Each structure stands twice: as structure tokens, then as C-alpha cells.
């Protein structure tokens, strides 16, 4: 059911120490038609020098939040603060914010140096200072020799470096990046992830980054906010997000994940016994379910041991049948039938022990209860 302006609930993702905040979203809502909310009571505190990524599928509201921070969209309700000052009434060019777009947005009729000089000229920076800042920015992205070229004479990766340099050249207080690597090929995209990460570490500038690519989010961020349907599902550092997802959506959206749906039969402390197609699986009760409740079990493929030498090390041990083996170099992506699910995926290290495992082979899978999370359905 669509949520309206009148009935939206409060969803918070605020750091405990508001005094350390550099930028803040406070109860921000956005509606384009006055009825349906695309952003629902969005609260987020961003610390100075932090790299925060808004991650989510298309249409989840993440880019709308970025556009409101930049000044290209206006909040329907709530306030956006920068250094404790409300900025919702300020035009974009007076916010001191740098912006990097997916399509680069470079002026094709200007040289690289002229593109970088443009935001400085708008801010009435003197000629000698402009030249010095442009040179410094180009050197920072390793394009010092390309100042006289036009964008069309550059590769996609070089154009993206110019876009990053232009966003940083006037020493902004905050840099916003809207899926800046989406148009690049896989190898170049991975290379640029590291470059942007290193630029952030070297300059200490505050960055808010939007993407639907989980690898980008995990690689570059200090914290990641996972979006769905205009609401933050979880806000956490990358390792916590991957290892300890709060709900089934986050577990499925971040990394490869096995999900098994069952019914809670017993509870012992924070461990539940869950009936999945007649198999009893022990898991950590993250959703605080009760006996009789349905639950989604989440198990990462790399947490599953194949033919463990000591089954006593694992609270869960089940017979499985290998259905598919896909060679990926350092490991084999293995699909198997276990506990009534024939889409169960396990990552098996590429070692000599692998030779005995073929399609159709019967094996034993083992995993610990603490690595299996009982989440919402």
C-alpha cells in the first residue's frame, strides 16, 4: 500500500552524538504529487570527513535525497542542515557543495582546464589563484598533461577523473556523487573505486555517494545506508552490513546469500530451532521471533563448510547433493540441493580436495548457528 504524507511513520538513522554532525537530514519527506511519498521521514547524520553511501535499487529514493542535499529538489517536509545551518532555501551554487554526475556533465566546447576553472570563475576567484587550483586538481587525478584537451578527446575514465577534479577544485565543504561510475566498464569502474577512495582519504573531504552497486558501497564507504521504498533499512559500516544484516532485504541485497523460509519450533536463549521442509536448523534469533512464527534464514555461501572433518564444530550438518559447479578461479561456485532447497549456493576453495566433488556427488554441508540469522519474512 502506498504511504501518504499524512500517515508516514518515523524511520530514523541518526548517530548518537548530534554535536559531531557535519550534515543532517531531519525528518525529510519528498512527494512529487502531494500524496505518495518517495522519501519517508528520512533522518541521517553525516560526520565531517566521512564517506557515506546511499545504496539501494532503482526507485528507492536514494538519488532524490542527494538531489535535495544539492538543491536541485526541494523537501516537501523536514530540514537539511549543513554545519548546523539550514540550507533548503539556498540555491545550489551558494551551498558550497561539489557534484559529480553519472554522465560527467562536462562542457564539450571547453578544454579540460576551462571546465575546471568554470566553478572558480563563478565564485569570482582571481586568475592566478584559479590557475594554481586547476593545476593542483588536475595533478590530484593524474591528468596534469591533459589541461588543453577537450572532453571528446578523453577516454571515459579520464572524463570521469575530470568530473571528480571539477567537483573538488573550489574546495567544497561537501561532495555529492550520483552513480559516477555507472557508465564505465567493469575493470575501469573497479580502478576508479580505489582512486576515489584514495582521494577521499588524502583530502579528508566529506562525501555522500549514491549507487545501486553493492561492491562500490562496500569498497569505498565508512558507512552505508541501504534504501528500499524511501526508507533506510539499515545504516552501518560495510563489514557489519554484510556480516550482520538486520532484515531479509538487506541480507539479500548485500552480497550473495542463501535464504531458507521455515517455522520456529524451539527457542533457547538467542538461538532458535527452525523447521525448514522437515529439517531442523539452528540459527540466531535476530528478528526476535516466537514459537510458531515464520522466519527467513540467511546464510552466506562462504560460511558453509563442505564435508567438514569434524561435524561437531557445527550446530547444523545436512546431507546435500551437488547440482552445479561453476569455475571462478580462486573458488568454485557450487549449487546444491539441501533441506529441500535446490538453489543453495556454497563457495568451495579451489584446492586439491575439490577433485572428489562432481555434479551428482553427495556431500555434507555444515554451518554454525551464529552464522545463520533468523530474520523477518
DSSP string, 77-140: EEEEEETTEE-TTS-GGGTTEEEE-TT----TTS-HHHHHHHHHHHTT--HHHHHHHHHHHHHH
The better pLDDT of the pair 353, 159 is held by 159
- How many Å is the Cα radius of gyration of the chain? 24
Task: Return the residue matching grid coordinates 563448510.
Answer: 305
What are the start-end ranges of the H helices in 169-308? 186-203, 214-220, 238-243, 248-253
Q: Average of pLDDT values for 338-356? A: 86
Query: What is d(CA 299, CA 169) in angstroms, rounded to the nearest whole number?
Result: 45
Q: Average of pLDDT values for 344-358? A: 83
The four Cα atoms 11, 17, 18, 20 give a dihedral, to 10 degrees, of -130
Adjacent-strand bridge partners of 273:
266, 282
Q: Average of pLDDT values for 168-177? A: 91
pLDDT tens, position by position, 20-79: 689 999 999 999 998 899 999 899 999 999 999 999 998 889 999 999 999 999 999 999
Report the percentage of the chain scoring pLDDT > 70. 94
Q: Above 50 in pLDDT, residue 217?
A: yes
Q: Average of pLDDT values for 167-171? A: 90
Query: What is d(CA 38, CA 2) in angstroms, rounded to the nearest whole number?
Result: 10
Give the chain's mean pLDDT: 90
> What integer pLDDT is reported at residue 156 of this predicted model?
86
pLDDT tens, position by position, 127-137: 999 999 999 99
Q: Average of pLDDT values for 356-373? A: 93
Task: Return the residue matching grid coordinates 576515489.
Answer: 196
> What integer pLDDT is reported at residue 5 of this predicted model?
36
User: Do the beta carbons of residue 147 and residue 134 sit within 8 Å?
Assistant: yes
Q: Do the first three CATH levels of 18-96+173-248 and 256-375 match, i.e. the same topology?
A: no
Q: Above 80 in pLDDT, residue 333?
A: yes
Query: What is d(CA 197, CA 219) in angstroms, rounded to the nearest whole number?
Result: 8
Assigned CATH class of 18-96+173-248: alpha beta
Taking the model in full, what pTM does it have?
0.85
Q: Above 80 in pLDDT, residue 183?
A: no
> What integer pLDDT is reported at residue 242 of this predicted model?
94
Q: Above 90 in pLDDT, residue 176?
A: yes
> What integer pLDDT is reported at residue 8 of this predicted model?
37
Query: What is d(CA 287, CA 264) in angstroms, rounded to the nearest whole number?
Result: 11
Q: Average of pLDDT values for 273-282? A: 96
Task: Assign 244 to helix, strand or coil.
Answer: coil
Q: Average of pLDDT values for 148-161? A: 91
pLDDT tens, position by position, 84-107: 999 988 999 889 899 998 888 899
Query: What is d(CA 373, CA 37) in angstroms, rounded to the nearest whole number?
Result: 31
User: Do the beta carbons of residue 42 and residue 79 sit within 8 Å?
Assistant: no
Q: Enumerate the domain spans of the chain.
A: 18-96+173-248, 256-375
> What integer pLDDT is reported at residue 352 of this predicted model?
64
Lowest mean pLDDT among 132-146, 323-337, 350-364: 350-364
In Å, how far from its chain's centre is CA 292? 34
Q: Above 80 in pLDDT, residue 17?
A: no
> What integer pLDDT is reported at residue 27 of this predicted model?
94
Q: Average of pLDDT values for 198-224? A: 93
Please state which architecture CATH assigns to domain 256-375. Answer: Beta Barrel (2.40)
> What integer pLDDT is reported at residue 13 of this predicted model?
45
Q: How confident is the model at residue 353 (pLDDT cuts 50, 70, 90)?
A: low
Amino acid at each position: 500500500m502506498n504511504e501518504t504524507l499524512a500517515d508516514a511513520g518515523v524511520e530514523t538513522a541518526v548517530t548518537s552524538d548530534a554535536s559531531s554532525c557535519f550534515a543532517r537530514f531531519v525528518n525529510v519527506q519528498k512527494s512529487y504529487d502531494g500524496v505518495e511519498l518517495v522519501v519517508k521521514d528520512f533522518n541521517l547524520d553525516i560526520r565531517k570527513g566521512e564517506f557515506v553511501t546511499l545504496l539501494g535499487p532503482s526507485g528507492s529514493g536514494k538519488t532524490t535525497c542527494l538531489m535535495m542535499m544539492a538543491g536541485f529538489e526541494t523537501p516537501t517536509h523536514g530540514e537539511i542542515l549543513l554545519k548546523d545551518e539550514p540550507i533548503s532555501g539556498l540555491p545550489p551554487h551558494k551551498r558550497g557543495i561539489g557534484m559529480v554526475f553519472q554522465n560527467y556533465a562536462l562542457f564539450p566546447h571547453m578544454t579540460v582546464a576551462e571546465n575546471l576553472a568554470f566553478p572558480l570563475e563563478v565564485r569570482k576567484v582571481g586568475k592566478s589563484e584559479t590557475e594554481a587550483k586547476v593545476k593542483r586538481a588536475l595533478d590530484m587525478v593524474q591528468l596534469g598533461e591533459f589541461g588543453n584537451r577537450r572532453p571528446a578527446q578523453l577516454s571515459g575514465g579520464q572524463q570521469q577523473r575530470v568530473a571528480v577534479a571539477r567537483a573538488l577544485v573550489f574546495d567544497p565543504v561537501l561532495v555529492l556523487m550520483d552513480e559516477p561510475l555507472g557508465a564505465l566498464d567493469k575493470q575501469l569502474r573497479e580502478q576508479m573505486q580505489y582512486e576515489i577512495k584514495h582521494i577521499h582519504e588524502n583530502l579528508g573531504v566529506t562525501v555522500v555517494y549514491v549507487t545501486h552497486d553493492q561492491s562500490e558501497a562496500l569498497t569505498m564507504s565508512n558507512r552505508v545506508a541501504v534504501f528500499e521504498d524511501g526508507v533506510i533499512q539499515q545504516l552501518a559500516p560495510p563489514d557489519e552490513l554484510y556480516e550482520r544484516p538486520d532484515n531479509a532485504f538487506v541480507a539479500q541485497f548485500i552480497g550473495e546469500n542463501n535464504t531458507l523460509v521455515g517455522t520456529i519450533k524451539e527457542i533457547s536463549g538467542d538461538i532458535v530451532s527452525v523447521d525448514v521442509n522437515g529439517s531442523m536448523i539452528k540459527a540466531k534469533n535476530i528478528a526476535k521471533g516466537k514459537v510458531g512464527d515464520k522466519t527467513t534464514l540467511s546464510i552466506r555461501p562462504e560460511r558453509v563448510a563442505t564435508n567438514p572433518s569434524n561435524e561437531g564444530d557445527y550446530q547444523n550438518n545436512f546431507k546435500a547433493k551437488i547440482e552445479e559447479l561453476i569455475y571462478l578461479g580462486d573458488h568454485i561456485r557450487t549449487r546444491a540441493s539441501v533441506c529441500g532447497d535446490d538453489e543453495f549456493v556454497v563457495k568451495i576453495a579451489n584446492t586439491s580436495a575439490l577433485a572428489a566433488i562432481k555434479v551428482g556427488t553427495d556431500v555434507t554441508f555444515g554451518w554454525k548457528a551464529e552464522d545463520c540469522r533468523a530474520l523477518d519474512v
